Structure 1
Amino acid sequence: MRAEPGLTLTVHTAEPRSPSDEALGLLGSWAATGKAEERVRKTGAPAGPLGTD
């Protein structure tokens, strides 16, 4: 990446409606949940709907 020499961008895709697609969706939901929980710990604010954090 130009802005940050040495960084690499990796993209993972899966065939729609495949087991891999479902697994990537689950992994994404874990990441979103972790962000919401971190915000609650830092600010005391309630977590918003999935995808709003």
Structure 2
Amino acid sequence: MGGDPSQVLLTYTAEPDSPSQDALNLLASWAAVNQDIDRSAPADDSEPADSAETPD
């Protein structure tokens, strides 16, 4: 088995149907929303955005 022997992976779980499980589910939903936002954001914003406004 490969990998670094100094690395350790810990996992935490909550009791089913507990307030802790509700909190972890809420936290996971925030992470999912943030991933969607990060993917839709441009990676490089060095180019100025074109304005959608039209002169009067």
TM-score (norm 2): 0.61
Larger Rg: 2
2:27 equivalent to 1:27:
yes
- Structure with the largest fraction of helix: 1
Give the 4+ runs in structure 1 shifted more than 4 A.
none
Which segments of 5 or more consecutive residues in structure 1 lack a partner in the other structure? 44-53
Which segments of 5 or more consecutive residues in structure 2 lack a partner in the other structure? 44-56
Alignment identity in percent?
43
- CA RMSD in angstroms comes to 2.1
Greater length-normalized contact order (CA 8 Å, ≥ 6 residues apart) = 1
Q: How many residues align?
A: 43
